[in-house]
């Protein structure tokens, strides 16, 4: 038997275990539930907006939004950070108006895009954490590690097979997120909008929104990029959780650590405007789809390549630590 075929057998084993533990089923159910909730909420918001503006035409809506932001900026209690963000929004809205682009053109493809913007930094990472938090530690707590590691297979290969299976399921999760959002969005908002041009590639230079690098791309292309970035975030979070499940004996502890990091990261983004070193934390780099739409980076000096590099370095370091610990550790369970 060749080495590769044997490895495929190992991955097959891990896949069977993951499926039979119903982990992936849980993720799918959660995903579908959240997509439906989001779609319902989105539809409600649109209906509200419509009521307020009194017309389906998006231009007045956008003008109303600009007026909204401008009035909020006049409020002296709004911190400068917020004001800057409103300024970007206003400039973006004006850009859309000038170019005659509906930024929230109804249709499932816009919902698919929004869904990734909303879930890349918290929902998808949480789903991926449920997949991986006990992937290794359950073998210890159930005692099966003794049977697993007394086979004629090197330890690192067993761990690599587990990781490969996890990566497969993370990829499946992102694919399913896309399919679920497209299907549910289609039912709620209609099946259109895939080729609508969207502006991407805004950059922020010295606190100013620089539209000179912005380009028009079809929405499906934008979605492809956004889901690619969502995949990168999910892979990183899955890798970090995977290592935690090697280091920490209890799944609940691994889950707790990741929850604290993810939620803490989302809070930190709003707090750490001046603490520039925070940009090297993985959890501050998860709102990665924001770079596509031209959102202000949470901390000065952050960019798409920067965030991707930070995520890759964290994932790689975790993986090395995980493999080192797993291959050396005494099995006393």
Partner 1 sequence: MAKQNETVLSVRNLEKTIGGNKLIHNLSFDVRAGEVFGFLGPNGAGKTTTIRMLVGLIKPTGGTVQIGGHDLQRDFVNAMREVGCIVENPELYKFLTGRENLQQFARMSDGISNERIDEVIRLVGLENRIHDKVKTYSLGMRQRLGIAQALLGKPKLLILDEPTNGLDPGGIRELREFVRTLAEHEGVGVFISSHLLSEIEMMCDRVAILHQGRCLYEGSVSELIANQQGEYVWRAEPAEKAFDLLREHPDVRGVLLDQAAIRCQTAPERVPDINKYLVDSGIKVFSLMQATPSLEDLFLEMTGGDRIA
Tell the smallest beta-carbon distance from residue 143 to partner 1 (Å): 3
Q: How far is CA 149 from CA 50, 67, 125, 216, 303, in A?
A: 62, 65, 30, 54, 43
**Do strands 203-205 and 197-200 pair parallel, antiparallel, or not at all (unpaired)?**
unpaired
Nearer to partner 1, 72 or 146 (CB): 146
Classified as helix, coil or strand, 148 is: helix
Tell the smallest beta-carbon distance from residue 135 to partner 1 (Å): 14
**Token pair of 107, please?**
């249709």
Tell the smallest beta-carbon distance from residue 131 to partner 1 (Å): 16
Cα angle vertex 241, ends 11, 124, to 5°? 90
Nearer to partner 1, 26 or 216 (CB): 26
Nearer to partner 1, 70 or 142 (CB): 142
Q: How many CB atoms lie within 10 A of CB 205?
A: 9
- Residue for token pair 């041009």: 197
Tell the smallest beta-carbon distance from residue 250 to partner 1 (Å): 17
Nearer to partner 1, 6 or 99 (CB): 6
Tell the smallest beta-carbon distance from residue 148 to partner 1 (Å): 8
Tell the smallest beta-carbon distance from residue 329 to partner 1 (Å): 9
Tell the smallest beta-carbon distance from residue 161 to partner 1 (Å): 10
Chain contacts with partner 1 (rule: CB under 8 A): 1, 6, 9-10, 12-13, 16-17, 20-21, 142-144, 146-147, 149-154, 328, 330-332
Q: How many CB atoms lie within 10 A of CB 167?
A: 17
Nearer to partner 1, 50 or 147 (CB): 147
- Residue for token pair 């891990």: 14
How many Cα atoms are found within 13 Å in the side-chain-facing hemisphere of 64? 13
- Residue for token pair 């289609």: 186
Nearer to partner 1, 13 or 221 (CB): 13
Classified as helix, coil or strand, 301 is: coil
The whole-angstrom separation of Cα 113 and Cα 192 is 13
**Do strands 197-200 and 215-218 pair parallel, antiparallel, or not at all (unpaired)?**
antiparallel
Nearer to partner 1, 144 or 276 (CB): 144
């Amino acid at each position: 038997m060749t080495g590769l075929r044997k490895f495929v057998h190992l991955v097959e084993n891990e896949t069977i275990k993951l499926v039979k533990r119903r982990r992936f089923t849980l993720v799918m159910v959660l995903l579908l539930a959240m997509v439906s909730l989001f779609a319902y909420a989105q539809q409600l918001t649109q209906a509200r907006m419509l009521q307020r503006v009194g017309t389906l035409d998006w231009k007045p809506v956008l003008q109303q939004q600009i007026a909204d932001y401008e009035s909020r900026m006049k409020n002296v209690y709004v911190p400068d950070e917020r004001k800057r963000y409103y300024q970007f929004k206003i400039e973006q809205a004006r850009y859309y108006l000038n170019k005659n682009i509906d930024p929230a053109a109804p249709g499932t493809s816009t919902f698919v895009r929004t869904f990734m913007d909303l879930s890349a930094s918290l929902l998808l990472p949480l789903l991926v954490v449920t997949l991986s938090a006990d992937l290794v530690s359950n073998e210890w707590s159930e005692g099966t590690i003794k049977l697993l590691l007394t086979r004629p297979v090197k330890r690192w290969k067993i761990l690599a097979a587990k990781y490969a299976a996890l990566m497969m399921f993370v990829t499946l999760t992102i694919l399913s997120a896309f399919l679920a959002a497209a299907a549910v969005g289609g039912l709620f908002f209609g099946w259109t909008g895939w080729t609508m041009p969207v502006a991407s590639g805004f950059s922020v230079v010295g606190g100013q929104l620089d539209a000179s690098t912005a380009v028009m791309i079809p929405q499906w292309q934008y979605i492809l990029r956004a889901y690619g970035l969502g995949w990168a975030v999910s892979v990183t979070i899955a890798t970090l959780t995977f290592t935690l499940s090697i280091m920490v004996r209890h799944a609940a502890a691994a889950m707790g650590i990741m929850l604290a990091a993810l939620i803490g990261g989302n809070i930190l983004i709003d707090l750490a405007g001046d603490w520039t070193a925070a940009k090297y934390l993985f959890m501050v780099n998860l709102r990665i789809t924001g770079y596509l739409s031209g959102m202000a980076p949470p901390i000065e000096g952050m960019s798409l390549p920067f965030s991707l590099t930070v995520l890759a370095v964290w994932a790689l370091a975790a993986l090395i630590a995980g493999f080192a610990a797993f291959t050396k550790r005494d099995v006393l369970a």
